Structure 1
Amino acid sequence: MTPVKLACLDLAGTTIGDIAMVERAFAEAIATQGIVPGTSAYARAMVHVHRSRGCPKIEVFRGIFPGNEAQAQAANLTFERSYEGAIERTGLIPLPGTVEALDKLRSAGVKIALITGFSRSTLGRVLSTLPWADKLDLALCPQDAGRGRPYPDMVLTAGLRAGIEDVRHVAVAGDSENDMLCGSRAGASIVAGVLTGVHSRERMLSGGATHILDSIADFPTLILSSELSTQKVATSVW
């Protein structure tokens, strides 16, 4: 194993527990475009939302409204207003162990990048709300990298901005299959799926997860134990 120098962490479902807020915002957004609860169109749309978790939100709406960019953009705008309004009302609650995990990573000299499928505007609102935003070295959204998940661009961009020389020095943690695809396609040495979010163990393994964890609280132990193993090997070879 190569020592980890950068940890790329997902936001919703991985470090903060706002799954219900996100789903309500999606439901409100598609309702403004005539897709309302109780209809088969609504059921299909929410299945698509679930399948696409982790992807850029505008791309999710383009999948729901194929060939109608105006509808997709309108729904995306409603989503952002709804979600940001919910943040203003209730704030964002870190999942158990998140802050402690960030402290352990920083103490071990690991840089931390937050990566998300939210827009730059929404990410800015999130960062202004998070009491632990000062523990982050980077926070990236799809606009910062060119393409969002499941493409590898955000992880690769985080590595470049953090000055990482080898993608094997990168570890990724997320709660969706698309998080896993992003990390594995980028070449990260550790791609950890956490079970506090939307997708099952099986879905994340199919996306390329190298490890499955109960929560982000277990992530530092995984990284540090990997580094310890590396040090032991290096010592024996020397």
Structure 2
Amino acid sequence: MSDVVPIKLVCLDLAGTTVGDIAMVERAFAEAIATQGIVPGTGAYARAMVHVHRSRGCPKIDVFRGIFPGNEAQAQAANLTFERSYEGALDRAGLVPMPGVQEVLDKLHGSGVKLAIITGFSRATLGRILSFLNWDDHIDLAICPEDAGGRGRPWPDMVLHAVLRLGIDDVRQVAVAGDSESDMLCGRRAGASLVAGVMTGAHSRERLLKGGATHILNSIAEFPDLILTDDLGTYAASTPR
């Protein structure tokens, strides 16, 4: 008798995983940091952008708190600029889903799997993103850190919030997919049986494995074939379950 637990909930990341807005996010961070006196061409700017890259997937306000430690007012001001810059870029350029994402949502939704979007964006920014994507008929829940008590990735709260909201019986029935180390940590800490690192965004294969990825995918288009099977298989990740 197989001990494989069927997947009943999938938690998908946004930027770099299901939507291709990495450049827009990077520019918004750069503009926000510059308004606080850290400008391109300086060592402080280079260090700040390294921190941004390392912190991908985390709540945006937490990223700014790391750049401006001990100065909450400065972090909040930078975060506000980030949101305005990013939403302005959305208005100008729109938002393009990653190739194959619509088919992924169709397959998962059609199979009866619950779908949750989890993100480090604020609730206001997440609302704007969803208005561009028109995914209402395909997802069951869209979660930001504010919805889960304020803690975002790498903590497990958003995944566990989805488990509770959608009535999932067992955390092993959860699969998580994302492009950052914090996505992987979040999924593993939540007890998900499948945590897929996607190679279309922020972090390298090595960083994804360091975070605890159980599988590595070239793109999100490969995800349905991974979970809609009788045998999930295994992947030699560097962090033990």
Smaller-chain TM-score bracket? over 0.9
Q: Structure 1 residue 135: deviation in Å?
A: 1.0
Unaligned runs of 5+ in 2: 234-241
- In structure 2, relative to structure 1, the CA distance for the partners of 1:223 and 1:229 (3 Å cut) is closer
Task: Tell me how large the CA RMSD over aligned residues is.
Answer: 1.1
2: distance between equivalents of 1:9 and 1:214? 15
1:117-136 mapped onto 2 (5 Å cutoff): 117-136=120-139
Which of 180, 184, 189 is the aligned partner of 1:176?
A: 180
Query: Would you say the 8 A contact 2:226–2:232 is kept in 1?
Result: no
Q: Name the aligned partner's letter for residue 116 of structure 2.
A: A
Instruction: Specify the alignment match of 1:28 in structure 2.
Output: 31
Q: Do residues 6 (structure 1) and 22 (structure 2) align?
A: no
Q: How many residues align?
A: 229
Q: Structure 1 residue 107: deviation in Å?
A: 1.1
2: distance between equivalents of 1:5 and 1:77? 36
Which of 129, 145, 161 is the aligned partner of 2:165?
A: 161
2: distance between equivalents of 1:37 and 1:136? 39
- In structure 2, relative to structure 1, the CA distance for the partners of 1:134 and 1:152 (3 Å cut) is same
Instruction: Specify the alignment match of 2:236 in structure 1.
Output: none
Q: Name the aligned partner's letter for residue 109 of structure 2.
A: R
Which of 202, 205, 212 is the aligned partner of 2:209?
A: 205
2: distance between equivalents of 1:127 and 1:24? 20
Q: Give 1 or 2: higher helix fraction.
A: 1
Instruction: Specify the alignment match of 1:81 in structure 2.
Output: 84
2: distance between equivalents of 1:72 and 1:220? 39
Task: Compute the TM-score of the two structures, normalised by the length of structure 2.
Answer: 0.93
Q: Structure 1 residue 228: deviation in Å?
A: 5.2
- The residue matched to 2:128 in structure 1 has which SS? helix
Task: Compute the TM-score of the two structures, normalised by the length of structure 1.
Answer: 0.94
1: distance between equivalents of 2:190 and 2:125? 25
Deviations 1:67-89 (A, max 9, x none): 00000000000000000111111
Q: Percent identity of the aligned residues?
A: 78
- In structure 2, relative to structure 1, the CA distance for the partners of 1:8 and 1:121 (3 Å cut) is same
Q: Structure 1 residue 129: deviation in Å?
A: 1.1
Q: Name the aligned partner's letter for residue 53 of structure 1.
A: R
1: distance between equivalents of 2:136 and 2:201? 21
1:64-143 mapped onto 2 (5 Å cutoff): 64-143=67-146
- The residue matched to 2:177 in structure 1 has which SS? strand
Q: Name the aligned partner's letter for residue 120 of structure 1.
A: R
2: distance between equivalents of 1:53 and 1:223? 25
Runs of 4+ displaced beyond 4 Å: none
